A and B are shown apart, each in its own frame.
Chain A
């Protein structure tokens, strides 16, 4: 048992188990549990007590999970955002927007679908592990290039006005000729990847501040 096992510290453990502590206290307890078997065992016991609360709650109906599963699969029916490049003029019309849901879970019917699914998933996954904004910028730049677009340093004619520098150096923009398939793919898929990247950068900065 370490010196941190004061009465005041121990009094935090039940609240910690219910996640009713603030961020600093949570980090403190987590760090302490690595070194203190006694407190770790106490937390396990407290967790077992807390689990009683969940076990005593009523369950939702058995139909709920299938409903949720259908909901995440049915996001293909969002509004149209771009025309299907494969569709002939005057044909069946526009394809549904290729949302992130669709990129993830819809059956991929073409090699382009497969690529978009693979690239989007990989970018999102890689962003989970970044430590610095540079890494986020590199991942997004790789994603943009993999879709076939260029990256330019000024807001030129063919560029897409989304800054992907994340504050690392001068602003950078994806660029691809208008009405090209690549541009459509970038315009469709990039905003969500950038959103994830911004979030990942914010978390990385917060971690760095915390560690300093």
Chain B
């Protein structure tokens, strides 16, 4: 049996190869790396914790079932998994399974996928607003969320938001820099608050 540290040091591509060879540990490591991001993406889209966990399960089982569907030349494993999650969420929204859950959570019922996309593009706050993302300006946050959670390229984002591509790239750069600064500031504040 492989040691945990061994799996932790492996590249995503190698873990996928191990999944193809039936390594449950490799799948567990992928879950450790990306389960949280998949869950966050599904929560944002569905507004329901239980449904979001179902989506994470679907995505993991799908990877286990068809590891070769992941093509490392076409993007990272993270993006691949998030796109799978997003597609599953859209299926769920289409099926209306989440209607009741979203009504409970106070969101409008929108089955139309285009409406879902528009909502994703323009809605400021869906679920689980993080403190880190709160540090960003609204335009920075919007492009980073579309890239990070929805797997869109900067070109797609530029088209979607009707912005120059350079503006989108610039907002991503500034947003990431801001995140870095915010975390550093936060760490400083916490350290300053410690009793001497």
When chains A and B are docked, how far (Å) is the Cα of A170 from the Cα of B24?
39
Closest-CB distance, A63 to chain B (whole angstroms): 8
Contact of B128 with A by CB under 8 A: yes
| Cβ of B69 to closest chain A Cβ, rounded Å | 7
Chain A residue contacts of B152, Cβ below 8 A: 20
- A121 at interface (Cβ–Cβ under 8 A)? yes
On whether the beta carbons of A50 and B176 are closer than 8 Å, the reply is yes
Give which listed residue, B27, B73, B173, B176, contacts A72 with CB less than 8 A: B27
| B89 CB → nearest A CB, Å | 15
Interface positions, chain A 44-88, Cβ under 8 Å from B, are: 45-46, 48-50, 52-61, 64-65, 67-69, 71-72, 75
| A125 on the B face (CB < 8 A) | yes
- B144 interfacial contact with A, CB 8 Å: yes
Contact A53 B133 (CB under 8 A): yes
Does B144 contact A68, Cβ atoms closer than 8 Å? no
B109 on interface, CB distance cutoff 8 Å: no
Chain A residues touching B, range: 35 or more
Residues in B whose Cβ lies below 8 Å from that of A75: 65
Query: Distance (Å) between the CB of B4 and the closest chain A CB?
Result: 14
Query: Would A121 and B56 be within 8 Å (CB), given that A23-B73, A199-B69 are in contact?
Result: no
Number of interface residues of B (CB under 8 A): 60
Q: How many A-B residue pairs have CB under 8 A?
A: 155
Rounded to whole angstroms, the CA-CA distance of A64 and B61 in the bound complex is 12
Asked if residues A71 and B173 are in contact (CB atoms below 8 Å), the reply is no
Report the minimum CB–CB distance from A104 to chain B (whole Å).
4
Complexed CA–CA distance, A195 and B22 (Å) = 17
Assembled-state Cα–Cα distance A100/B21 (Å)? 11
Asked if B166 is at the interface (CB within 8 A of a chain A CB), the reply is: yes
**Residue B28 CB within 8 A of the other chain:** yes
Question: Which of B60, B71, B130 is within 8 Å of A53, CB to CB?
Answer: B130
Residues in B whose Cβ lies below 8 Å from that of A45? 180
On B, residues with C-beta under 8 Å from A are 17, 20-22, 24, 27-28, 31, 35-37, 39-40, 43, 49, 52-53, 56-57, 60-61, 64-69, 71, 73-76, 78-79, 128, 130-133, 144, 147-148, 151-155, 157, 166, 168-170, 172-173, 176-177, 179-180, 182-183
Which residues of A approach B to under 8 Å, CB–CB?
11-15, 17-23, 26-27, 45-46, 48-50, 52-61, 64-65, 67-69, 71-72, 75, 100-101, 104-105, 117, 121-122, 124-125, 127-128, 195-196, 199-200, 203, 206-207, 210
Given contacts A72-B27, A121-B21, A125-B21, 11 further A-B contacts (CB under 8 A): A20-B152, A45-B180, A52-B132, A52-B179, A52-B183, A54-B37, A58-B128, A60-B56, A61-B53, A67-B53, A121-B22
Instruction: Give 16 A-B contacts (CB < 8 Å), ordered by A residue.
Output: A14-B173, A19-B151, A54-B36, A55-B132, A58-B43, A60-B39, A64-B39, A65-B35, A72-B27, A105-B22, A117-B22, A121-B22, A128-B17, A196-B20, A206-B73, A210-B73
